[in-house]
Amino acid sequence: MTRSNIIFFISFFAYVIAQAFLKKLVLFNSGFCFLYVAFILLMPIETNNLVLMLLGFIMGFTVDIFYDSLGLHAFTTVFIAYIRNYWLSVITPQGGYDAGAVPKISEQGLQWFLVYTLPLVFIHHLVLFLVESAGTLFWYSMLKTINSMMFTMLVMVLLQYLTSDRART
Amino acid sequence: MERLFKFLYYYRASFTFLLLEFFCAWLIVANNQYQSTKYFNSSNRVVAWLNTSAQNIREYFLLADINATLSRNNAMLLNKIEEQSQRLYRMQLHQRPDSSVEKNFQYIQARVINNSTKFYKNFITIDQGQADGISVGMAVTNSFGAVGKVKSVSKHYAVLISLLNIDNQVSSVLKRTGQFGTIQWDGTDPSYIDLKYIPRHVIPLVGDSVVTSGYNAVFPPGIFIGKIKEFKLRDEALFYDIKIELGQDFGRLNFVEVINAKRKAEKDSLELITIGEPR
């Protein structure tokens, strides 16, 4: 087990516990924070699709146990894990990614990070709310999606600044 | 054969993706059915422990509020007992020993350790389980009205399906007219719930109470649900669209009572013999 693997292992539990406590924090009745998506989104760029999907499944399944919504979060997280690498190859910057690059603000810059995460987080939330309501309530789900997206993105970006500073010193 | 394996290997990511998504979809569908998948929910011990500690912290800050509610309930109940005993005294019924009065409904007190109101499908976890006499299908109320019914139990915890769950339907009655309908949440505002299947000829009024009907024998009859906030009758609609203001704030649920309906099994088996398997 290499050092980075251990870090991923610990961060998995950190995300799960954080998510369990974030369950109560809902803004304006419709803004949720699904921070656990960051676990999949912040994996190194070269991570294999299969590994991502399996990790996404385990993460989603664990979150589902806390949310009493068996299969729901697993479904959406696997979906995000699948399309993540395709999206990464679409938005490859000129000259490509460095070997062992990580999709973080500290390495790729804020603008690139927003282009990378915003659509994925949006799709994740939209799929989540649509599947939960079984396709009914489309516009209310859209409202929830946009509010939750802003909330999740804000927390995700803030956390990036907080943690990357600590890593540098 | 070799080419088949090559094909499978080449598209392994897509196949894994489809496999996992089908598995998840199956889980979602299976979990939607009334009772299933006992172990992977928040009545699991580790999850429940984490939830309990989170709730303990939250409850500490709400203590004053909880105490006020409890003492108000206490006073109300004491008044009721006094009233009843006065009545019984006049009727000379109070000499009957306690044990000769059969209890149709037994109440088990429980504390909410996990709760949500913001999803489409909301569940509540409580800190009493099989060991305390709770089983699947029991109704849960508190002094403000109906809360939900038990979906699954573990040894020391139980998960309730909240009234605020788009899958949960409760048979209910418009108290003033006696008309039966069904309560179902529409998934948007946690302080309102919909009353369905009230036919055109009934004349509801704003402020009418809606209570449980007791038809499905989960809830005892007459448990308060809420008051009519607004209603409208669209042209050519068979039934009214009625919005009901819930009697309680589900976001502040703290203590609940689980109702053990002693005669439910008897009623169910009688119906099973005469009517057949419920659909």
Using an 8 Å CB-CB cutoff, list residues of chain B that contact chain A.
12-13, 16-17, 20-21, 23-28, 30-31, 37, 40-42, 44, 47, 50-51, 54, 58, 114, 116, 118-121, 123, 125, 159, 166, 186-190
pLDDT at B34: 46
Nearest-angstrom CA–CA distance, A80 and A149: 14
The answer to whether B118 contacts A133, with C-beta atoms less than 8 Å apart, is no
State the average pLDDT over residues A133-152: 83
Residue in A with minimal Cα distance to B115: A24
pLDDT of residue B100: 52
Local structure of A104: helix, strand or coil:
coil
Task: Give the per-residue pLDDT at B44.
Answer: 67
The residue of chain B nearest to residue A137, with distances taken between CA atoms, is: B187
Q: Residue B53: closest CA among chain A residues belongs to which residue?
A: A21
Question: Please, where are the H alpha helices in B92-178?
Answer: none
Give the distance from residue A165's alpha carbon to the nearest chain B alpha carbon, in angstroms.
29
Q: Residue range A59-88: average pLDDT? A: 86
Q: Domain limits at A91?
A: 3-168
Residue A49, chain B, CB below 8 Å: the answer is yes
The CA distance from B33 to the nearest CA of chain A, in Å, is 12
- pLDDT of amino acid B35: 43
Run of H or E including B151: strand B145-153
| More confident: B268 or A150 | A150
Yes or no, beta carbons of A29 and B190 under 8 Å apart: yes
Give the separation between CA B270 and CA B279, rounded to whole angstroms. Answer: 16
Q: Which residues of A touch B159 (CB under 8 A)?
A: 68
Phi, psi (rounded to 5 degrees) for B260: -95, 105
Q: How many domains does chain A have?
A: 1
Q: Which CATH number fits domain B41-279: 3.30.1540.20, 3.40.47.10, 2.40.10.350, 2.60.40.10?
A: 2.40.10.350
For residues A155-163, give the mean pLDDT. 85
Residue B230 to residues A10, B165, B185, B196, B233, Cα–Cα distance (Å): 52, 21, 15, 13, 11
Provide the pLDDT for residue A69: 78
Q: Which of A46-50, A141-145, A154-158, B89-93 has the lowest mean pLDDT?
A: B89-93
Q: Show the low-confidence residues of chain B (pLDDT under 70).
A: 31-45, 89-104, 216-217, 277-279
Which pLDDT band holds residue A169 (cuts at 50, 70, 90)? Answer: very low
| Residue A5: partners with Cβ closer than 8 Å, 6 or more residues away | none
Strand B192-196 versus strand B179-184 pairing type: antiparallel
Chain B neighbors of A75, CB-CB under 8 A = 21, 24-25, 27-28
- Whether residues B24 and A24 touch (CB distance < 8 A) is answered with no
Residue window 51-110, chain A: list those with CB within 8 Å of chain B. Answer: 53-54, 57, 60-61, 64-72, 74-75, 78-79, 82
Per-residue confidence (pLDDT) for residue B36, from 0 to 100: 47
Region A102-123: mean pLDDT is: 86
To the nearest whole Å, the CA of B217 is away from the closest chain A CA by 26
pLDDT at B91: 66
Six-digit token pair at B267? Answer: 């009623």
pLDDT at A85 over 70: yes
Q: State residue B118's pLDDT score.
A: 80
Q: Which residue intervals of B33-159 are DSSP H helices? A: 45-91
Report, as an integer, the average pLDDT of A63-82: 86
